[in-house]
């Protein structure tokens, strides 16, 4: 059985993938300063710092402990154990004595106040809602550590993959409808999943039904809408088994929709792996494994 506490964590991560606030670049850092001790308080920031290269990596002194958990992270084994692990953002960060901390909109205001009180420079990422937010977040982090050129390269590589997917989408004869279903919620407009679906050349049925961000959906509604594909997450069991078990799990033996299972840590990703979702959807629609 899926561990209940871990399920709540996944639901929280699912929520932050779609939460939307006014995107203001709240920051106290200065590009005049060369930071030497950086804490990444969330997985996304840690991943971007890794991608920025050795000049960024050698300055990182702390990453979130959840980065070592395969249910949430796709970065297993990347950061050595010698780098501090943060279980609860706050005083654990202070122990690492950073001169720059990267935090996100889902961290509570107490953490932001603590950074101000202790006069620790910080960058706050305000939105995780799709491709545009991804580009902005990458560049915000890159500029904070004076590696703008490297940040632009990350964005450029992302856009190249996106263009390739857009070309491949032209071979899909008819735009199929896709609906996500993860722990009773679906993902509509203004979500990471929505951008992934569009990049695959498909239709996000939840968005067509005027659902924004994430929203609860009943099993009965799945039957009424009958999307071409239902996308679910697969964690502790294989994706193939999750697909096979899904109709019985929701109590619909004659489910007409085809089921596509994607590893949950990919399905809730807010970084370049959003394109992996697009690629998976395209391959399945085009009958390519």
Q: How far apart are CA 289 and CA 282, in angstroms?
A: 10
Yes or no: say if 158 and 166 are a contact pair by the CB < 8 Å rule: no
Please give the pLDDT value at position 10: 47
Please give the pLDDT value at position 14: 46
Yes or no: say if 177 and 228 are a contact pair by the CB < 8 Å rule: yes
Dihedral (CA of 248, 254, 257, 259) sign: positive
273 three-state secondary structure: coil
For residue 103, the cross-strand partners are: 124
Q: Cβ atoms within 10 A of the Cβ of 4, count?
A: 8
182 three-state secondary structure: strand
Where do we find the tokens 């390269």? 153
pLDDT band at 15 (very low <50, low <70, confident <90, very high): very low
Please give the pLDDT value at position 215: 92
Please give the pLDDT value at position 105: 78
216 three-state secondary structure: strand
For residue 187, the cross-strand partners are: 214
pLDDT digits (tens, 9 = 90+) for 108-142: 677 878 888 888 999 988 888 899 999 999 999 99
Q: How far apart are CA 117 and CA 111, in angstroms?
A: 10
Q: How far apart are CA 96 and CA 279, in angstroms?
A: 39
Q: What domains, with CATH codes, occur in the chain? A: 4-162 (3.40.50.1980), 171-285 (3.40.50.1980)
Checking if the pLDDT of 7 tops 70, the result is no
pLDDT digits (tens, 9 = 90+) for 153-211: 999 999 999 999 999 999 887 889 999 999 899 999 999 999 999 999 999 999 999 99
Percent of the chain predicted with pLDDT > 90: 65
Long-range contact pairs involving 78-81 (C-beta distance under 8 Å, separation at least 24): 78/50, 79/46, 79/50
pLDDT digits (tens, 9 = 90+) for 58-104: 999 999 999 998 877 888 889 999 999 998 778 889 999 999 999 88
The residue among 269, 52, 92 whose CA lies nearest residue 182 is 269
């Amino acid at each position: 059985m899926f561990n209940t506490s871990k399920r709540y964590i996944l639901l929280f991560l699912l929520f932050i993938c779609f939460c939307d606030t006014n995107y203001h670049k709240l920051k106290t850092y200065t590009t005049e300063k060369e930071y030497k001790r950086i804490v990444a308080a969330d997985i996304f920031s840690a991943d971007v710092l890794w991608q920025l290269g050795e000049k960024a990596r050698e300055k990182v002194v702390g990453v979130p402990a959840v980065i070592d958990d395969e249910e949430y992270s796709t970065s297993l084994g990347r950061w050595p154990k010698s780098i501090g692990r943060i279980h609860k953002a706050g005083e654990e960060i202070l122990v690492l004595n950073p001169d720059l901390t990267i935090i996100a909109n889902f961290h509570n205001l107490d953490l932001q106040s603590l950074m101000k009180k202790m006069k620790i420079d910080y960058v706050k990422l305000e939105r995780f809602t799709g491709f545009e937010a991804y580009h902005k977040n990458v560049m915000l982090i890159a500029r904070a550590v004076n590696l703008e050129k490297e940040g632009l390269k990350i964005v450029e590589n992302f856009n190249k993959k996106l263009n390739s997917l857009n070309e491949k989408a032209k071979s899909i004869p008819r735009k199929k409808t896709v609906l996500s279903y993860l722990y009773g919620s679906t993902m509509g407009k203004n979500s990471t999943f929505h951008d992934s679906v569009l990049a695959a050349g498909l239709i996000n049925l939840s968005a067509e039904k005027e659902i924004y961000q994430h929203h609860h959906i009943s099993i009965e509604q799945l039957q009424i809408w009958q999307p071409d594909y239902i996308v679910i997450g697969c964690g502790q069991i294989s994706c193939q088994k999750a697909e096979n078990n899904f109709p019985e799990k929701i109590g619909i033996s004659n489910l007409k929709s085809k089921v596509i299972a994607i590893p949950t840590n990919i399905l809730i990703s807010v970084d370049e792996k959003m394109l992996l979702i697009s690629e998976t959807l395209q391959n399945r629609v085009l009958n390519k494994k």
